[in-house]
């Protein structure tokens, strides 16, 4: 009997020690669960939210942003405009690589400051070649440099997007006006879409974004530029909180050389239609069959 009691005691001690060690090991998780409300946890997919639910979600996001970041923001739900299909063209003969578009995106979309994150990456290419292998993204000299041309790349809002196909929870999908959007509150952060995208267009929030309250752009959209939580994927959304209200996206406005042409493909008088009809446009990696909405041309 003493053998059994001794074993039982040792076992009991071991179990207690194990439980304590487990609790200690899990301790940092407390910070994670603190920020997670039950409402947030149970929130349904954007497409399943009733108008009242969506209102509640938008207000909650505004309250959370105020509480966590000290910034007053307004988050809207901008729906696609009927009769609109967005298209974008970029004049490679005119782009001078100044990165003002990337900078504007950074400010408009409330990106993390420390990484100087942007949805746009500008590639400095060798003239005469479309080979990205010898391109540079971190050039830091006066532009345009001799013998180079510049190619900004952002999400091309593909009509047959690989990222949409691979998402296991349908957190990303193509809307009626052509924009491929992400429900940041539904994304599980598996990054399969990031692996699938042929254009390096998607970004993952590896940490909580750092932005000062006064730098936060308060004019926000649920599917676009509200401050994203860590652990989810994001990408260019053609500034839908602007474009679905008729405005130009931030990158198009910021471009000082006028290389960017944005508009409604269904409007025969739009600049984008004129470009597609009159300029020799091409798309990146056409052979993959992604059918982008973003076109490039030389003048």
Window 205-244: contact mask with another protein (x via CB under 8 A): xxxx---------------------xxxx---------x-
204 lies in the binding site for another protein (CB under 8 A): yes
Segment holding 240, helix H or strand E: helix 240-243
Contact (CB, 8 A) for 144 and 131: no
Confirm if 151 and 125 have CB atoms less than 8 A apart: yes
Question: Left if phi > 0, otherwise alpha if psi is -120 to 50, otherwise beta: which for 170?
Answer: left
Judged by CB under 8 A, the chain residues 34 through 63 that form the site for another protein are 36, 41, 45
* Closest-CA residue to 155 (of 110, 117, 89, 200): 200
Q: Choose, by CB under 8 A, the member of 9, 16, 37, 115 that binds another protein.
A: 115
Q: Which of 9, 16, 37, 137 binds another protein (CB under 8 A)?
A: 137
Q: How far is the CB of 230 from another protein (least distance, A)?
A: 4
Q: Quick one: which of 131, 147, 214, 268 contacts another protein (CB under 8 A)?
A: 131
* 3-state SS assignment for residue 70: coil
Q: Contact between 83 and another protein (CB under 8 A)? A: no
Q: Which of 2, 50, 127, 278 binds another protein (CB under 8 A)?
A: 278
Choose among 228, 174, 233: nearest CA to 202. Answer: 233
Q: Which is nearer to another protein, 71 or 251 (CB)?
A: 251
Q: Does 255 bind another protein (CB under 8 A)?
A: yes
Per-residue mark of binding to another protein, 143-162 (x: CB under 8 A): xx--------x--------x
Whether 282 contacts 75, CB under 8 Å: no
* Token digits of residue 294: 């973003």
């Amino acid at each position: 009997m003493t053998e059994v009691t001794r074993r039982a005691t040792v076992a009991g001690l071991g179990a207690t020690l194990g439980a304590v060690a487990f609790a200690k090991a899990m301790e940092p998780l407390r910070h994670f669960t603190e920020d997670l409300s039950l409402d947030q946890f149970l929130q349904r997919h954007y497409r399943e939210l009733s108008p009242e639910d969506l209102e509640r979600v938008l207000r909650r996001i505004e309250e959370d942003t105020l509480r966590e970041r000290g910034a007053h923001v307004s988050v809207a739900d901008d729906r696609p405009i009927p009769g609109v299909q967005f298209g974008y063209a970029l004049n490679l003969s005119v782009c001078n690589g100044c990165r003002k578009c990337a900078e504007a995106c950074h400010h408009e979309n409330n990106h993390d400051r420390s990484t100087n994150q942007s949805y746009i990456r500008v590639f400095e290419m060798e003239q005469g070649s479309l080979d990205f292998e010898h391109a540079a993204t971190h050039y830091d000299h006066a532009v345009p440099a001799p013998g180079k041309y510049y190619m900004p790349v952002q999400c091309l809002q593909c009509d047959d997007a690989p990222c949409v196909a691979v998402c296991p929870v349908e957190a990303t999908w193509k809307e009626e006006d052509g924009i491929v959007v992400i429900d940041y509150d539904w994304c599980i952060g598996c990054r399969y879409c990031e692996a699938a995208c042929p254009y390096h267009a998607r970004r993952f929030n590896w940490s909580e974004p750092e932005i000062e309250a006064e730098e936060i752009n308060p004019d926000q959209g649920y599917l676009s530029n509200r401050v994203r939580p860590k652990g989810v994927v994001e990408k260019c959304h053609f500034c839908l909180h602007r474009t679905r209200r008729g405005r130009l996206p931030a990158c198009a406005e910021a471009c000082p050389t006028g290389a960017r042409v944005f508009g409604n493909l269904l409007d025969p008088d739009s600049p984008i239609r004129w470009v597609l009809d009159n300029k020799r446009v091409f798309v990146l990696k056409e052979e993959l069959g992604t059918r982008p909405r973003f076109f490039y041309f030389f003048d």
